[in-house]
Structure 1
Amino acid sequence: MTEFQLHAAAASDDVAAIGQLLSNGAEIDTRDKDGRSALLVATHGNKVNAAKALIEAGADVNLKDNINDSPYLYAGARGHIEILKLTLQHGADLKSTNRYGGTAIIPASERGHVDTVRTLIEAGTDVDHVNNLGWTALLEAIILGDGGQRHVDIVKLLVDAGADVNLADKDGVTPLSHARSSGYDAMVGLLEKAGAK
């Protein structure tokens, strides 16, 4: 059961054990019952050293589990910035989507992970990707955010990156309408300045 020892080593951030197991022939991308690779286990716990060791040894940063999370997508969604940057340096698929049909920038925007959103924009992520709910990163930052400074910063980042400020949800409600109805004045100002209607 060498494979699951690798998962355990990843969960406990034990780089020495990871190296030993891999040199003894452990399969780096073996999945557990939930479809998770050791790298995804490390990412879940934000175990940066284990993740780095696994990625540098060739672990697949895009390998999805049973609920369509990959190390790249999960690091982006949770704001695990160091692991996210490692996945981006090792072939992260910017177009890959989670179980909601969203790219990493959408949950990052919803959860207020400013540095993550900035990193994903710099990596070339499509800021106007629409998920299965009919929402973009901009819409999620407004609708599911709390209107606080982190979400205002994210709206500004997205607008500055060229996000379509008039791309409405599937009910035809625009980002500006959502921001107004929530009373998010700072967001309203940013959107209006960018030509939102």
Structure 2
Amino acid sequence: MLDEQLLTAAAAGEAAAVREAVTEGADLEARDGRRRTALLLASAADHVEVAQILVAAGADPNALDAQHDTPWLVTGVTGSVAMLRVLLPAKPDLTIRNRYGGVSLIPACERGHVDYVREVLKTGIDVNHVNDLGWTGLLEAVILGDGSAKYQEIVRLLLAAGADRELADRDGVTSLQHAVKKGQREVADILRG
């Protein structure tokens, strides 16, 4: 009952109820039907205050759910810089891979989360990590991005952080070749830089 209260309150962003459940001894690593912990529920919904309480109590930022997400990995999907900053003191494993074999940087690049990419690159995360599709963050930004200003900035950030512009996908196609094929002139110019 107490564990369910914790999970429900975390998902709803009810900080006072989370604090109460933690104080009364709820299991920080209790799981819902999809194996999500309270910290994962809070992270996915960007309930920063709830996450602060859970991290301070010792919740695990690396707890995998049934979909192979963790509190840390979902920050790349949501793009929440505030949540990234809450979770970093808990020392998340930056090498844990999502169900696609990617680290948190890759979905952030795909979704155009410029501020998140800027912040996560400061952590030393592997800028050239290759996921199960054979794509890096740079390839995802070009292949799945639209070439708009936010994707141009992500490409700049990745290159400044040491992204290898010559890393090709499984078919041997580089980011530059993808940009040219998609008509992303500005991105192609940055990649030629």
With normalisation by structure 2, the TM-score equals: 0.97
* Aligned-partner residue type, residue 186 of structure 1: E
* Aligned-partner residue type, residue 112 of structure 2: G
The secondary structure found in structure 2 opposite 1:162 is coil
Structure 1 counterpart of 2:97: 97
* Aligned-partner residue type, residue 26 of structure 1: A
Matches within 5 A, 1:160-171: 160-171=160-171
State the Cα distance separating 1:78 from its structure 2 match.
Answer: 1.4
* Aligned-partner residue type, residue 44 of structure 1: A
Aligned mates of 1:25, 1:47 — CA distance in 2 = 21
Bigger shift: 19-28 or 65-74? Answer: 19-28
Structure 2 counterpart of 1:178: 178
State the Cα distance separating 1:15 from its structure 2 match.
Answer: 1.7
Structure 1 residue ranges (4+ consecutive) displaced by more than 6 angstroms after TM superposition: none
- Structure 1 unaligned regions, length at least 5: none
Aligned mates of 1:47, 1:23 — CA distance in 2 = 19
State the Cα distance separating 1:53 from its structure 2 match.
Answer: 0.9
Q: CA offsets per residue over residues 32-55 of structure 1, 9 Å max, x none?
A: 110100111111211111111111
* TM-align CA RMSD: 0.8
Matches within 5 A, 1:12-161: 12-161=12-161
State the Cα distance separating 1:10 from its structure 2 match.
Answer: 0.8
The secondary structure found in structure 2 opposite 1:76 is helix
State the Cα distance separating 1:89 from its structure 2 match.
Answer: 2.0
Q: Alignment length, in residue pairs?
A: 193
8 Å CA contact retained: 2:48, 2:86: no
Aligned mates of 2:192, 2:70 — CA distance in 1 = 36
State the Cα distance separating 1:62 from its structure 2 match.
Answer: 0.8
* Aligned-partner residue type, residue 138 of structure 2: L
Q: CA offsets per residue over residues 2-60 of structure 1, 9 Å max, x none?
A: 11110111122222211211121110111111010011111121111111111111110
* Aligned-partner residue type, residue 152 of structure 1: Q
Aligned mates of 2:25, 2:162 — CA distance in 1 = 47
With normalisation by structure 1, the TM-score equals: 0.96
The secondary structure found in structure 1 opposite 2:139 is helix
Structure 1 counterpart of 2:5: 5
The secondary structure found in structure 2 opposite 1:130 is coil
The secondary structure found in structure 2 opposite 1:33 is coil
Aligned mates of 2:58, 2:181 — CA distance in 1 = 48
